[in-house]
């Protein structure tokens, strides 16, 4: 028996139960949170901004790196002490401890229920059990797009779950399972509803966007009565068509450098999807990539990237890297630094390798001392920043389309936005100066043209025109 306070069944006409919600982790986890919140709202549950004011609390966790695990466990602990009735979902919920027991339950035995990621129905079943459904659901109050945790003008669109790769440093497949692509008709219907609700930037996410449809053998689905293949190229072409009447952007994340990605470049050159690719290279040296078991590790990444740049000169590449992977020699690390310089990576993030419990890389020989890993990360970032800042400098004098994220003082005193080169949260910003023309104001969620006048770190400063 769990030692938790009981909640009475909601009487007919009584107040609907309130659910506290904490969403941690990556954009994929965020879309899971949105599905759960949408379902809660559809059934008439209310949300509470505080743990204490809720009838129960749902914590959507992240279990990817040690810091994320700690943050998730701490948040569950906080919710338990302030509320006492906690349901845990997400990646951490699928992890086992060293003894093979559920990690969350081992640390916090008083939680009401624990599920893995993308488990909306299981979470709802637990909610129904511990805070019974209201009798008068406000179904009609839920927007067609569901509940979004992002600002109204951009949204993440998850196209698949799980991953068929087995990178040695990663435990996501053990938590999220193999690749399961969403039906192309569902994905496109969701995209259309989002654009119709005012979304101006759609961020396509998954674990491996380039693999979309592999599990379904690229079968033909239907959207609006028309056949569409479940494949990245066809999906992106359709998304571009849906975005066009709204003047909206489509941005692609987690794309691997497979040969078939070449086919996307014409769509980018034609402006149907943004000339921006988030390609998590992780390393450049073939031997390190082989030890990492990375997708597309056998591809000639530098040649491919230079060819992409030729096909679409505006292309911006964001990537993440790992420095100090087990066995990484100084020569292999130098190869990585040369790659960043030659490939002219616009935006790069770098982690010093850190072992993740349960990952195969932990058993690889040649683990490097923490100081070496950290020192390489710092050297990497110094080079990556030089490249990034030099590339930003080239934009001074250019006129760019900027999507406004913040516009205080009714948009008369400038604001903050992003160009096609900046994804929300992870890249830089465009700092907008106060408009010169009295008739011009900046509005959140709208585009403005702006002339770049200077750079500031990873950001641009621009004058709205
Ligand atoms: S591609 Fe590799 S790093 Fe990415 S989710 Fe799959 S296994 Fe993990």
Give 317 Cα–ligand 1 centroid separation in angstroms: 19
Looking at residue 145, its pLDDT comes to: 63
Give 325 Cα–ligand 1 centroid separation in angstroms: 15
Half-sphere exposure of 352 (CA within 13 A, CB side): 13
The atom number, within ligand 1, closest to the CA of 171 reads 8
Taking only the tens place, the pLDDT of each residue in 107-151 is 999 999 998 888 887 888 888 888 877 654 444 455 566 666 778
The atom number, within ligand 1, closest to the CA of 293 reads 2
Pocket mutation for ligand 1, best pick of 27, 167, 294 (most atoms within 8 Å of C-beta): 167
Give 383 Cα–ligand 1 centroid separation in angstroms: 26
Looking at residue 209, its pLDDT comes to: 95
Give 170 Cα–ligand 1 centroid separation in angstroms: 6
Half-sphere exposure of 326 (CA within 13 A, CB side): 18
Q: Is the CB of residue 207 below 6 angstroms from any atom belonging to ligand 1?
A: yes
Give 207 Cα–ligand 1 centroid separation in angstroms: 6
The atom number, within ligand 1, closest to the CA of 256 reads 1
Pocket mutation for ligand 1, best pick of 172, 205, 214 (most atoms within 8 Å of C-beta): 172
Q: Is the CB of residue 171 below 6 angstroms from any atom belonging to ligand 1?
A: no
Looking at residue 12, its pLDDT comes to: 39
Pocket mutation for ligand 1, best pick of 26, 175, 208 (most atoms within 8 Å of C-beta): 208
Is the CB of residue 234 less than 8 Å from the CB of residue 228? yes
Looking at residue 284, its pLDDT comes to: 94
Tokens for 252?
């692609």
Nearest CA to ligand 1 atom 1: 165
Which residues in the chain land under pLDDT 50?
1-13, 136-140
Q: Could you count the other beta carbons within 10 Å of the beta carbon of residue 36? A: 25
Give Cα 253 distance to the centre of its chain.
8
Give 291 Cα–ligand 1 centroid separation in angstroms: 14
Q: Is the CB of residue 295 below 6 angstroms from any atom belonging to ligand 1?
A: yes
Is the CB of residue 65 less than 8 Å from the CB of residue 150? no
Give 360 Cα–ligand 1 centroid separation in angstroms: 12
Looking at residue 306, its pLDDT comes to: 92
Q: What angle do CA 354, 358, 362 make, to 5 degrees?
A: 50
The atom number, within ligand 1, closest to the CA of 173 reads 7
Give 179 Cα–ligand 1 centroid separation in angstroms: 10
Give 245 Cα–ligand 1 centroid separation in angstroms: 35
The atom number, within ligand 1, closest to the CA of 163 reads 6
Q: Is the CB of residue 172 below 6 angstroms from any atom belonging to ligand 1?
A: yes
Q: Is the CB of residue 211 below 6 angstroms from any atom belonging to ligand 1?
A: no
Give 96 Cα–ligand 1 centroid separation in angstroms: 19
Taking only the tens place, the pLDDT of each residue in 60-86 is 998 877 888 899 999 999 999 999 999
Give 86 Cα–ligand 1 centroid separation in angstroms: 30
Give Cα 89 distance to the centre of its chain.
17
Give 356 Cα–ligand 1 centroid separation in angstroms: 13
The atom number, within ligand 1, closest to the CA of 294 reads 2
Nearest CA to ligand 1 atom 8: 170
């Amino acid at each position: 028996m769990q030692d938790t306070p009981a909640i009475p069944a909601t009487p007919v006409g009584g107040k609907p139960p309130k659910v506290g919600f904490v969403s941690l982790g990556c954009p994929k986890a965020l879309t899971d949170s949105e599905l759960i919140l949408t379902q809660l709202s559809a059934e008439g549950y209310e949300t509470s901004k505080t743990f204490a004011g809720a009838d129960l609390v749902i914590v959507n966790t992240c279990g990817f790196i040690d810091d994320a695990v700690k943050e998730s466990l701490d948040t569950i602990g906080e919710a338990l002490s302030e509320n006492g009735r906690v349901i845990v979902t997400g990646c951490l919920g699928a992890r086992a401890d060293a003894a093979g027991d559920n990690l969350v339950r081992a640390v916090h035995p008083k939680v009401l229920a624990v599920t893995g990621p993308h488990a909306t129905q299981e979470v709802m079943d637990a909610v129904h059990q511990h805070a019974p459904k209201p009798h008068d659901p406000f179904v009609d109050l839920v927007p067609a797009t569901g509940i979004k945790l992002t600002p109204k003008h951009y949204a993440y669109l998850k196209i698949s779950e799980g991953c068929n790769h087995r990178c040695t440093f990663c435990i996501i497949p053990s938590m999220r399972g193999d690749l399961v692509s969403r039906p192309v008709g569902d994905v496109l219907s969701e995209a259309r509803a989002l654009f119709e609700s005012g979304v101006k930037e759609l961020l396509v996410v998954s674990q491996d966007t380039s693999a979309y449809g592999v599990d379904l053998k690229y079968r033909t689905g239907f959207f609006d009565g028309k056949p569409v293949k479940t494949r990245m190229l066809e999906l992106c072409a359709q998304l571009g068509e849906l975005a066009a009447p709204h003047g909206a952007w489509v941005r692609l994340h987690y794309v691997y450098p497979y040969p078939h990605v070449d086919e996307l470049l014409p769509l980018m050159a034609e402006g149907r999807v943004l000339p921006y690719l988030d390609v998590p290279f992780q390393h450049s040296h073939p031997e390190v990539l082989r030890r990492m078991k990375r997708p597309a590790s056998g591809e000639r990444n530098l040649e491919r990237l230079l060819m992409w740049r030729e096909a679409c000169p505006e292309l911006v590449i964001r990537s993440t890297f790992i420095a100090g992977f087990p066995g990484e020699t100084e020569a292999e690390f130098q190869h990585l630094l040369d790659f960043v310089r030659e490939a002219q990576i616009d935006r790069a993030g770098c982690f010093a390798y850190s072992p993740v419990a349960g990952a195969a890389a932990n058993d690889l020989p040649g683990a490097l001392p923490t100081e070496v890993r950290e020192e390489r990360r710092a050297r990497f970032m110094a080079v990556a920043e030089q490249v990034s800042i030099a590339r930003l400098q080239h934009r001074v004098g250019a006129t760019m389309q900027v999507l406004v994220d913040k516009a205080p003082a009714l948009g008369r005193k400038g604001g903050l936005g992003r160009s096609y080169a900046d994804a929300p949260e992870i890249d830089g910003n465009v700092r907008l100066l106060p408009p010169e023309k009295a008739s011009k104001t900046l509005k959140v969620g709208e585009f403005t043209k702006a002339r770049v006048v200077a750079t500031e770190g990873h950001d641009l400063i621009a004058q709205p025109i």
